[in-house]
A and B are shown apart, each in its own frame.
Chain A
Amino acid sequence: MAQYLPPPEIIAQLGLIFVVFNMLVLSAAFMVWMERKVCAYIQDREGPNRVGFEGVLQPFADVIKLLFKEQLKPKAADTVLFALAPLISTTAAFAAFSVVPFGTETTLFGLLEHPIPLEVTDVNVAVLVIFAITSMGIYGIVLAGWSSNSKYSLLGGLRSSAQMISYELSYGLAMAAVIMMAGSLSLREIVTNQSGYWFHVIPRWYLFLQPLGFFIYLCAGVAETNRAPFDFPEAEQELVAGYHTEYSSMSFAMFFLAEYVNMVTVSAVATSLYLGGWLGPFLPSWLGWVWFLVKVFLILFFYVWMRWTLPRYRYDQLMEFGWKWLLPAAVLNLFATAAVVLWIG
């Protein structure tokens, strides 16, 4: 029987893909629950507490409700593009996570001969791949805005995509500074460069070497995902619901899912670039993915906390911040990093 099975490496690779995909979907569900609970406690109330223990099954109830809703399409909407937009958003969101490493090499308890790294694929231009796939996600929003053939959608879509394009520059420049310090585009190498401690206590994270870069990256990441103070394009008080006004049922669920998975990807890349990825004390190296999950969870909590604490930027304030403050700061950060790297290295 064993000779009819594919080689164990293929099974392990398929298993990795299965695990990563399901973890992303489950983390989106977890984010729905966490957002509602944290929002509730910030607003001095309890949040969902009926559907499971402390409302843990609420996201699943939401998905079942969305499944049973009627799928609407405006009569004058462009059918092909209307159906294609949520697909592009969701595919880009999931594909970007494929190059993020979440653990050291493991032999899966000795089942494999050669250890496999814990990521879906190990590319030596991983940072650029993430950047590329994130820029493809813009099409989902632009097409959703345009093909819905509605004023709110079009304005929301255009504003949202203009915002994403503007903040991509600072996003890339912040990443470029880390790449310069690490000397490599591979996320795995960037994380392994952060191993070790200064004075046996402080870990060698790039967060301590690049505090401005971390701040720029987080700001740009929050703006990229249309969240927290930068969510003018989908603010309910302004544009009904922006680019996903005309979507219902599973298409809306796909946009929802894409937004949360994008948040998870931005947090995962932030932990790999600045917080030392899967490295951490006390646990053996093959349990590194636990530290990875802890760090990603911290950044996601910060995201949710920011959303329900800060008022949102007006659109022109948002664009001014992105172009006149964040971009020059990112360029200065890059110059300073280059100077220091040349001086030391």
Chain B
Amino acid sequence: MSYYAFYVFAFIAIVSSLLVVGQKNPMHSVMLLIASFGALAGLYVLLDAPFTAVTQIIVYAGAIMVLFLFVVMLLNVPREEPTPASVSALLGPTGMRVGVVLSLLLAAEVVWAMSRVGVGVFSQGPGTASVSSVALIGRALFTRHAFAFEATSVLILVAMVGAVVLARREQH
């Protein structure tokens, strides 16, 4: 059952991510990206990490993508003009040539990486299944990664203060 669920979620994630770059209307791109994040959350659930899945939805799909949506609406980006398909990639503008080279490199890298996939050994054994994932993450966050946690909160504070300062109206 989880076998089929994996393929469904993986299909949705891949297809919606590919469709993001192919849309004329940027609002459609944003909604497709949200769909791919939802599929990723489903994959996290299948990997027995419900907390990560829910946090993905809350933070990524629920907060960051709302920001993206507002920015796209504010900028009122017009629909894209379709590029002429008859131009050969080798003779086209520089952007297209570089893009083709980079995508070939990416494809080669993915093929190389997938051919070397093996079974990984995780540091936790099967005995940790009794503790909920939330407790595990909490313990790791406050002991091993405490410094990174505190540094991130200072970073977020700096971002908030910067946003308020930038958006504030000049006071005369």
Contacts and interface: CB of A to CB of B under 8 A. Distances in A.
Interface of A: 78, 80-81, 84, 123-125, 128-129, 131-133, 135-136, 138-139, 142-143, 146-147, 161, 165, 185
Contact of B54 (A128, A142, A143, A147): A128
A81 B58 contact: no
25 contacts: A78-B25, A78-B27, A81-B28, A81-B31, A125-B50, A125-B54, A125-B133, A128-B51, A128-B55, A128-B58, A131-B54, A132-B54, A132-B61, A135-B58, A135-B62, A135-B63, A136-B61, A138-B62, A139-B34, A139-B69, A142-B66, A142-B70, A142-B73, A146-B27, A161-B66
A124 B54 CA distance: 11
A138 B58 contact: no
B139 to A, nearest CB: 14
A142 B51 contact: no
A136 B50 CA distance: 17
Contact of B27 (A81, A128, A132, A133): A81
Given A138-B62, A165-B66, A125 B51 contact: yes
Given A81-B28, A136-B61, A142-B73, 16 more contacts: A81-B27, A84-B31, A124-B50, A125-B54, A125-B133, A129-B54, A131-B54, A131-B58, A132-B57, A132-B62, A135-B57, A135-B62, A146-B27, A165-B66, A185-B132, A185-B134
A124 B129 CA distance: 13
A192 to B, nearest CB: 16
B161 to A, nearest CB: 15
Contacts of A138: 62, 66
